[in-house]
Amino acid sequence: MDTKLLYIDTIGCQMNVYDSEQFAKGLRPMGYTLTSSLDTANLVIVNTCSIREKAQQKAFSFLGRLATLKRKKPDLIIGVGGCVAQQEGSRILERMPHLDFVFGTYAVGRLPKIVKEIELKRRSFVDIDNSGGIDGLEPIAVVPSAEDNQSPTRFVTIMRGCDNHCTYCVVPHVRGREVSRNPANILREIRNLVKSGVREITLLGQNVNSFGKKEGSCSFPELLFQIHDIEDLLRIRFTTSHPKDLSRNLIDAFSGLNKLCKHIHLPVQSGSNLILRRMNRKYTREEYLEKVDRLHSICPDIAISTDIILGFPGETSEDFDKTLDLINKVEYDNLFAFKYSDRPYALATGYPGKVSELVKKERLEAVLDLGKEYAAKKNRSLVGSTELILVEGFSKKQRKSVSGRKINDRQWSGRTSTNKIVNFTKGRGFYSNDVISKGQMIRVQIDKASVHSLSGTVVEGGEKVSVSTKQRVFPPELVEA
């Protein structure tokens, strides 16, 4: 079989990162290996995101630029997958005739067949069929190969789609109704990942709280409980948890499960009840703050991050002040803020009271500035402490290659349980034969803090660090269905 080169460009959320891995796995038996060089590729797939106008534009501008490459290499096959593909279908090919195929979010499992068809017949193809549910809900099981991402941390999609109807959001349209995977398959997938060296997994879903409810399989806390039992898995994270559904049992899991990292992403979107209602978020700021209090009382050092939308239709300066006030109350460890953007099929697109670009920009900057203040404050509070880090690899700076450095000075990178990036070097007591490796737990003394990361020196590493992964009290019989 010929070896062919596959280049994947992934835009969007972690779900797309996971799906792109599935694309590569599915195409491997057809002779495709991944390349990081666009110019050498035989097949280019762009995995797109439609969450905001800007993300969609990013996809179209990259796809547009591929026309030059196609002119140089007429045999090149170009495909478009993901959320813009599902949303736009054949309109993409009409707009950009140099593209060969469009496959939507339901067609991940059909990708190998589509590519085979194109290779044989060389005619364009569109597959955005959603009538048979998601093909590829259960990922393809393949033996790990050298080309797999060798990171000790990985994403695992546990459910797809979304049954909520937030009025600004395109996801329910492009990803369809919510479906949860079979828990036994999820456990098998994680066990296999752990066998290949993975030590931390992040479970993905638009609203993990409702995992298994429709299917009557098991609740999300129960799933966490079972994953916790997997030997050699050191850390578990999850995202996203919708505040309206964040249950007492899930909050309790933060004190009951040692492997569960002390971080929760809890998107608030707005601090104004009026706006929350018009967004159809189904919680009030008071209910949200009550859950934050409960999280803090169960797990005092939990890190909380959030998403905020600025300039939702009808947002007044009073509404905006309430958002700032809420940020001041929660003191988020990290926040992501976005200017509201009209999306196809989203109800808010037809709402009156659109906020001007200028005002959206001003509000965005104010929120980002405030967010940075708290992120820096939280990071500063860790200076002088010793944190347990899972080593992910060399730091970004190191990867850019500081050649000629002694091995002892190497900068490594990892995260705290609270999801803070820590760059570190070996401390004085360390010798060159004290090996630091990916996937290892290490104790690092924090010396410096900035808004985005921490830096420090290793005080204890490798075998010397004993990590308590034992489950504490969290009786499964207390878990609600």
Q: Is the Cβ of residue 168 or residue 332 nearer to ligand SF4 in the bound state?
A: 168
Q: Is-contact 49 55, C-beta < 8 A? A: yes
Q: How far is CA 202 from CA 14, 61, 192, 230, 237, in A?
A: 9, 30, 15, 14, 4
Residue 290's alpha-carbon distances to 37, 264, 294, in angstroms, are 49, 15, 6
Smaller CB distance to ligand SF4: residue 341 or 379? Answer: 341
Residue 166 binds to ligand SF4 (criterion: CB under 6 A): yes
d(CA 314, CA 309): 12
- In this structure, what token pair is assigned to residue 451? 């808004």
Instruction: State which residue, 76 or 137, has the beta carbon closest to ligand F3S.
Output: 137
Q: Could you list the beta-strand ranges (E) of 266-351.
A: 303-310, 334-339
Nearer to ligand SF4, 169 or 375 (CB): 169
Our finding on whether 334 is near ligand SAH (CB under 6 A) is: no
Note the residue count of the chain. 481
167 is a site residue for ligand SAH (CB under 6 A)? no
Size of the site for ligand SF4 (CB under 6 A): 9
Residue 306: DSSP 8-state: E
Does residue number 51 form part of the binding site for ligand SAH (CB under 6 A)? yes
Tell me the closest approach of the beta carbon of residue 296 to ligand SAH, in angstroms: 20
| Angstrom distance (rounded) from CA 76 to CA 65 | 14
The Cβ of residue 276 has, within 10 Å, a number of other Cβ atoms equal to: 25
Query: In angstroms, rounded to a whole number, what is the distance separating the alpha carbons of residues 145 and 148?
Result: 5
Q: Which of 18, 168, 320, 412 binds ligand SAH (CB under 6 A)?
A: 168
Residue from the set 307, 373, 434, 447 that interacts with ligand SAH by CB under 6 A: 307
The CB-of-48 to ligand F3S minimum distance in angstroms stands at 7
Quote the tokens at residue 340.
Answer: 């509201």
User: For residue 180, what is the enclosing H or E element?
Assistant: strand 179-180
Build a one-symbol-per-residue string for 244-283: x at contacts with ligand SAH by CB under 6 A, - elsewhere: -----------------------x-x--------------
* Cα gap 276→396, rounded to integer Å: 38
Q: Which is nearer to ligand SF4, 207 or 334 (CB)?
A: 207
Q: Which does 341 bind (CB under 5 to 8 A by kind): ligand F3S, ligand SF4, ligand SAH, none?
A: ligand SAH
DSSP annotation of 39:
G
Radius of gyration of the chain (CA): 23
| 458 is an interface residue for ligand SAH by CB under 6 A | no
Quick check: 203 binds ligand SAH (CB under 6 A)?
A: no
For the CB of residue 50, give the shortest distance to ligand SF4 in the complex, in Å.
11
Q: How far apart are CA 261 and CA 245, in angstroms?
A: 20
**Cα 254 to the chain's mean position, in Å?**
20
Q: Binding segment for ligand SAH among 192-200, 223-231, 289-297, 335-343 (CB under 6 A)?
A: 335-343
Nearer to ligand SAH, 53 or 409 (CB): 53
CA dist 265 and 263 (Å) reads 7
Write the DSSP symbol of residue 91. Answer: H
Query: Least distance (Å) from ligand SF4 to the CB of residue 181?
Result: 17
Closest CA to 112 of 6, 217, 195: 6
Contact residues: ligand F3S, CB under 6 A: 12-13, 15-16, 49-51, 82-83, 170-171, 174-175
Residues 198-227, interacting with ligand SF4 (CB under 6 A): 206-207
Q: How far apart are CA 133 and CA 161, in angstroms?
A: 11
Closest CB to ligand SF4 among residues 166, 330: 166
Smallest separation (angstroms) from ligand SAH to the CB of 234: 26
Write out the residues near ligand SAH by the rule CB under 6 A. Answer: 51-52, 168-169, 171, 206, 240, 242, 267, 269, 307, 309, 338, 340-341, 343
Write out the residues near ligand SF4 by the rule CB under 6 A. Answer: 162, 164, 166, 169, 171-172, 206-207, 242
